[in-house]
Amino acid sequence: MPIEAFILRPVTRAWQILLAAGLVEIVWAVGLKQSGGLTKPLPTAVTIVAYVASFYLLALAMKALPLGTAYAVWTGVGAAGAAIIGVLFFKEPRDLLRLGSLALIVVGVIGLRIGSRAQ
């Protein structure tokens, strides 16, 4: 295996971990919505476990990724995912401004990922 594969592997793995952290962030956000202000035991437990897992995965990803990039992508994935879940399952508004803003978040996350390859 060429040396480049060993050099690129930790960064690629960090991006996979960061994506997982963002997806788990969506879980805790939805759990928080379902918890009724942290009054329902099961959704509250899911929220807490997902929150801790998301932070742990973010911390792991930050070992190999820059702080600003990792944090922005983590929040972007979480925010976009939570907004999509809100529209699809919680009947939240689907107006053009909201959907356009959501698209800008997704484009920003993609831009950060592409930009990190150039470094």
What is the average pLDDT score of the chain? 90
Of 118 and 19, the structure prediction assigns the larger pLDDT to 19
What DSSP string describes 57-80?
HHHHHTTTS-HHHHHHHHHHHHHH
- Distance between CA atoms of 83 and 30, rounded to whole angstroms? 10
pTM, two decimals, is: 0.84
Q: Over the stretch 4-46, which tens digit does the pLDDT of each residue have?
A: 444 445 668 999 999 999 999 999 999 999 999 999 999 999 9
The three-point CA angle 8-65-19 to 5° equals 90
